[in-house]
Structure 1
């Protein structure tokens, strides 16, 4: 599981991505405290995330525990 939120602050979108609900909420509270507005908030329950590196999307397991659960090697 991971959480994704978009905050509008100072005419820019701030993207918050985290695996911990408590840390995520703490950051949201801090940004809203200085005038940010939550535009979108999503929870993703799939065990794979994706990241764009050098213009290409790459999929990776979010944690070593999830890698092990998928049957991944020691490198996960």
Structure 2
């Protein structure tokens, strides 16, 4: 049991920087720049979001996409 706990701890230490890297990557490439203005306006209107809220929503969606790809590789 101790051997498993030791390996599990090592695995967690090795994997712990991955979410940080994913968040930094998602923040560096702002997805709101690639979204067409009419689509942004429609999302703001239909989802009842402010511009800042929509930008945060898109960042979270991009982060989820990056994490999904990383988990699929793992």
Same fold by TM-score greater than 0.5 = no
**Greater helix share, structure number:** 2
Greater relative contact order structure (CA < 8 Å, 6+ sep): 2
Higher-Rg member (1/2)? 2
Indicate the TM-score class for this superposition, using the shorter chain for normalisation.
Answer: under 0.3
TM-score normalised by L of structure 1: 0.23
**Greater strand share, structure number:** 1
